[in-house]
A and B are shown apart, each in its own frame.
Chain A
């Protein structure tokens, strides 16, 4: 029964990838590597270059992680090391509730609460304080890379917190006790014994969060401005691969268009698979090293 289930799952994945490759054959033949390096996505002139979307995806996910990582690891440290056990559990339940919020709902919250806040308060503040800095220039639309980054940070926090917490709980108590016995403070014990120990696990959590951020569609497309243009400013609208597919697939009127969108999906899929594989290797190596050291 189990074997049958596993084989079916693998079969489905192969079918999905196979059909994506078949459907995108037209675009792969027409554009080759130009698809990834071309800056123009023009359905009327029939040129499809995905560079702006790769930029938008990378920058918005990167920004999301930049915001989420310190917050999430901080929450995990607090929940595991500093808080009494009942509080630690309560915190992780609340954080997991955050993961239960549907993406579309978060997008709607983004449009009606976050975007006006960014437009009226945050963006003018940055433009005033840092005039002329290319990172913060542009009219305050409200939507843009910065807003998308914040929404993504909210979405990946539960993932990173959950995994970091598990990884930290797996650290053998002997490590902490040894550090304390040598005269370290509580914080030094955490920072110098626990964290370096589960370093690769934490890295794995972060990479897994990145994988989630890269594929996030609905919430991002509602707040990113949907403009296929590369610009240095964080307040400018942008476009991610997932958003473009969601927006244009239903009305893709000719074969090359559909093919290009499927190829975009294929690129996105490969990126996500690569990240997940990397994350697995890192988390697995933590578990292994903890077993080895535990045996000492």
Chain B
């Protein structure tokens, strides 16, 4: 997408994928013009940045919960079951809480091998935010963040590590971005959303979740959209944000504004091929308001 904009506008974007934490750090040190993150900046980070920073939602993704139970091709889970599994209170696949929502599936009596991300990650951020939102137990015992103290399970390094562990270990369950589930042929769980329907993870489900939350979208773009309302919404979805100082550099300001506008409008066409979801109209409106509020060298556009 940066390539396409570059060719159209003549400017060049140099983008490095280093992880949300490092991106925020570089923005604060002003070694980069803009950063990107899957996690909202904490108060500490915003204070360290010095000047106001805007969060511009530019894409969103679904976090799928993949599993490997031989013989089971269709599995439903709800908030209770998933949080129980990750808290360690539900230990075997044929636990009554899981069996109750899977009436026509034969569940084996094997122990559940839980897999999580050992490295700090935006995917963990979205996943733990979901668990905190639906389980008061999880919220008090563990909490939400890019790195938490997981009650049970083993850690895989990177989404590819978790996906690899799940595809190799019978009886395991793990979470990763939708793209990894598709690429590794791992079956994903149908998760019960706020409207009570069991939905599989999908690009459309993520867009529905954002549309559902767009009605109450805060003007500063910092919205967590887990467990969003809507019949087709997928419950574990989250935005990725571009982070930029409110006041832009005199030389690059115009190009940056052009880039941000492109990213949130025409640039959205590239999302689906990469298993990311395009922004719904409501969010694009909030985006254009945020972009209009940016100033160049102190002066409004």
* Interface of A toward B, CB cutoff 8 Å: 40-45, 111, 115-116, 119, 139, 141-143, 221-222, 225-228, 237, 239, 243, 246-248, 250-255
Among candidates A43, A142, A222, residue contacting B157 with C-beta atoms closer than 8 Å: A222
B188 interfacial by beta-carbon distance below 8 Å: no
Evaluate contact between A116 and B168: CB separation under 8 angstroms: yes
The listed residue with most B CB atoms (<10 A of its CB), out of A40, A41, A227, A237, is: A227
| Given A139-B111, A251-B21, A254-B42, also A227-B149 (CB < 8 A) | no
Q: Which of A40, A116, A251 contacts B120 (CB 8 A)?
A: A251
A239 CA to B149 CA, complexed, in Å: 13
Q: Let me know if B157 and A247 touch, CB within 8 A.
A: yes
For A237, the closest partner residue in chain B by CB is: B154
Contacts beyond the supplied A239-B155, A252-B21: 9 A-B pairs with Cβ under 8 Å: A42-B148, A43-B149, A44-B143, A44-B148, A139-B171, A143-B154, A227-B154, A247-B120, A253-B21
From A42, A44, A45, A255, name the one whose CB has the most chain B CB atoms within 10 angstroms.
Answer: A44
* A142 (CB) vs chain B CBs: closest residue: B169
- B149 contacts A251, C-beta separation under 8 Å: no
A214 to B146, CA, bound (A): 27
Q: Bound complex: CA of A63 vs CA of B190, how far in Å?
A: 42
Write out the residue numbers on chain A whose beta carbons fall within 8 Å of the beta carbon of B44. 253-255
* A138 nearest in chain B by CB position: B111
B49 contacts the other chain (Cβ, under 8 Å)? no
B156 close to A (CB within 8 Å): yes
8 interchain pairs, CB-CB under 8 A: A43-B120, A44-B142, A45-B149, A111-B161, A139-B113, A142-B169, A221-B157, A227-B153
| Beta-carbon contact of A44 and B119 below 8 Å | no
Q: Check A115–B147 contact: CB distance below 8 A.
A: no
Q: Whole-angstrom distance from the CB of B242 to the nearest CB of chain A?
A: 18
- Does A227 contact B146, Cβ atoms closer than 8 Å? no
Residues of A within 8 A of B164 (CB): 111
Contacts of A142 in B (CB 8 A): 168-169
Distance of A40 Cα from B143 Cα, bound (Å): 15
**B120 neighbours in A (Cβ, 8 Å):** 43, 247-248, 250-253
Q: How far is the CA of A252 from the CA of B147 in the complex (A)?
A: 8
Q: 8 shortest A-B CB distances, which residue pairs?
A: A251-B120, A226-B155, A226-B118, A251-B21, A44-B143, A225-B154, A42-B149, A247-B119
Interface residue? B145 (CB, 8 A): yes
B19 within 8 A of partner (CB): yes
A247 surroundings in chain B (CB, below 8 A): 118-120, 155, 157
A243 CA to B161 CA, complexed, in Å: 14
A187 to B61, CA, bound (A): 67
| B146 lies within 8 A of A45 (CB) | no
Contact A253 B18 (CB under 8 A): no
User: B22 at the A/B interface (Cβ < 8 Å)?
Assistant: yes
**Which residues of chain A are within 8 angstroms of B143 by Cβ–Cβ distance?**
44-45
A65 to B229, CA, bound (A): 56
Instruction: Tell yes or no: B45 within 8 A of A by CB.
Output: yes
A250–B18 contact, CB under 8 A? yes
**Which of A41, A42, A141 makes the CB contact (< 8 A) with B154?**
A141
Complex contact B145–A250 (CB within 8 A): no
A43-B148 contact, Cβ under 8 Å, with A250-B19, A253-B44 = yes
B168 / chain A contacts, CB cutoff of 8 Å: 111, 115-116, 119, 142
Are A226 and B42 closer than 8 Å at their CB atoms? no
Instruction: Please give the distance in Å from B122's CB to the nearest CB on chain A.
Output: 9
Residues of B within 8 A of A225 (CB): 154-155
Taking CB as reference atom, which chain A residue is nearest B143?
A44
| Selected contact of A43 from candidates B19, B20, B39, B147, CB within 8 Å | B147
B21 partner residues in chain A, CB cutoff 8 A:
250-253
Which residue on chain B has the smallest CB distance to residue A256? B44
| Cα-based distance from A224 to B164 in the complex (angstroms) | 14
Residue of B nearest to A255 (CB): B44
**Which residues of chain A are near B144, meaning CB under 8 Å?**
44
